[in-house]
Each structure stands twice: as C-alpha cells, then as structure tokens.
Amino acid sequence: MKRSMKNLPIIIVLGVATLGAISCRKQDGKGKASALLSLRTDQKGSVPGGSDPQALCSFLKDKGYFPKNSYPTNTKVLFSTSYEVVEDSAGQGYGVVGADGFFEQQGNTTTQLLVCPGASSISGGKCNWKINGDDGYAQLAFDVVCNKRSRQGTKIHPGYSQQSASLVSYQASTAGQSTSGQDAVEVVLQGRESKARIVFAKGVGLVATVFQESLTPAGTAEVFIGGTSSGSMFGD
C-alpha cells in the first residue's frame, strides 16, 4: 500500500489513472486499428547528467527541448489505454488541442471505446483535460522529470528508483496516426512496479509519454502530441 501511494502523484496526473478518469468501455467485436500502437526510439547518444533531475531539467531548457508548455490550436493529440499490457484490445482515441488549451476529442479508432474526462458526448467532444499552460499536462510532465513537485525529499520522482536520458529519434503511433522527429530526448524512469518513458522534441517540447504500472490499476497509458494522419486503419 505504501508503494502504491508513493506512485499516486504521477499515476493520477500522467499515467493510467490520468486517463483512468477517461471511461473505457468494451464493445462487441475486435478492434482493427491496433496495428499502430507503439513508441519507437533510436538512441543517438547520452545526455550529460541524465540521471540527475536538476541537471536534466537544465539541459532540456538550455538546449531547447522544452521551450514552452503549450501548443498551437488544433495540434493533434493521440492517446490509448489498456489493462496489463499494450495489446490489440487497447482503447485508442484522438483529437486536438483547443483554442483554450483543453483537449477536444474527435473520435475512437477501435471497438474499445475510450472517452476523455468530462466529454460532452459518448464519442468525445469538449473535455476537462488541460494540455497547455503552467497547470497543463505538458508542464506537469516536465515537472515530474525534474522532480519539482516532490515533497518527500527524494532525488527522483517518488515511485521510481532509476532515471536515465538519451538523445533519440522517435516515432510514436496510435489511433491510426503518428508523429515523429529526429532530434529528441527520451527520459526513462524505472521503479519496482512502474515505468515511464517521456520524450521531448527540440523546439517543440513534450511529444510522448508512456506509463506502465503493474500494481492495481495495472495497465499502460500512452499520450502522443503532434500527430499527422497516416490513413484509415479500417481498410476503407
């Protein structure tokens, strides 16, 4: 229980339970849009001081990997959740950043219905999930990597025991769409029951998060920002 509570801050705001405020309801049939469901990175080098949150925080800011905590209106946002592991039955949804900085869901691509918190309809619409700003998702991901919100005196964010960072190229895909870049930093946080992968692209900021938790609620949550259409996943 203590271990689970230590993980609670990051899980609530970034991981499975963040999107756990999202309802996920299984429908009849098997999803056809699960072919694209991944975060692939190719390492290009190490990041100096990548295991130290303060040093990493300075590197990300100074080198332009976190220039801002907001995105232009209509920037694509792709997300998925699944129980236990990423699999064909994962719910996958997509939408855009609205003019007010909140997520606006536009649809799902699988028969596993995934709806954002506060959605205005069963298919999505206006949500209560803020992406932009000092109290938004992008800033929170940066603060977790820098361990800025810890009040427990731990060097690395509570719930994790190891942190590393690498220079990478990346391709992130889900919900029938993808986003990619050649110059990014991937931060990996590893704990006994938890793992996080957080990617920041140069000149853009946060572009990908993958959170996995083996305790209850066990599962995987992915959020990818900046997607472009890769065509229909239903073979239309």
* pLDDT value, residue 218: 78
Which pLDDT tens digit goes with each residue over 197-219?
999 999 999 999 999 888 767 78
Does the structure show a pLDDT above 60 at 40?
Answer: yes
Which pLDDT tens digit goes with each residue over 146-183?
987 655 556 888 778 899 999 999 999 888 888 999 99
Q: What angle do CA 112, 28, 208 make, to 5 degrees?
A: 10
Does the structure show a pLDDT above 50 at 13?
Answer: no
* pLDDT value, residue 109: 83
CA pair distance 220, 74, nearest whole angstrom: 26
CA pair distance 100, 26, nearest whole angstrom: 31
Does the structure show a pLDDT above 50 at 22?
Answer: no
Placement of tokens 């998060």 in the chain: 209
* pLDDT value, residue 232: 31
CA distances from 234 to 34, 36, 143, 160, 162 (A): 10, 12, 38, 39, 40
Share of the chain above pLDDT 70, in %: 74
pTM of the model: 0.81
